[in-house]
Amino acid sequence: MDHRRRLHDRELLPLSRQVTNAADEILQMNQNNIHEANDRARRQAAGAEQRMYIFLLFGAAIAVAFMLFIGKWILHPIKRLIRSTQVIRDGNLDLVIPAGSHDEIGRLSEAFNDMTSSLREFRRSDQAKLVRTQDAAKETFTSCPMPWRFSTSMEKWRYRPCQRRICSG
């Protein structure tokens, strides 16, 4: 037993202490690695959170800019088209709406221009017909010297023969 004790004290106890010390060192290294990994993960999470807020603000800025440009690209041409239709409705058929683009709004503007051109042509042809009708009526009535003549025997107005053909149909 004495031999065992000496063996224990001389060989096993120092070896046990070495193993315990090595295990403590390994445990300490693991704890340090865990703390470092935790700190690194926290820093990465904080950086990711900052980037998320930056992207969120950037996205909001893009959305606001998009809304402003929507007003310029879509709403402004539509408002211009509405104002132009009101001017056309008031009788100004000489207005030409600038198309400005080849999208739907531009094609609608071109359609309005085609419509006002047709209305202008229709108005001109109607005016020309009216002028021809007025000229014909004027020529008809001026070709006879007096449309009425006074008859003393009957004491009333009578049609002259040329107006009788025109006026009686």
Name residue 157's beta-bridge partners. 150
Specify the pTM: 0.45
pLDDT of residue 168: 47
- Express each pLDDT in 126-144 by its tens digit: 888 888 888 887 777 666 6
Share the mean pLDDT of the chain: 82
Q: Is the pLDDT of residue 159 over 60?
A: no
Domain positions in the chain: 1-92, 103-169
CB 119 within 8 Å of CB 89:
no
Task: Measure the CA angle with vertex 166, ends 163 and 168; round to 5°.
Answer: 95
Name residue 158's beta-bridge partners. 149
Q: Is 149 helix (H, G, I), strand (E, B) or coil?
A: strand
Q: Is the pLDDT of residue 150 over 50?
A: no
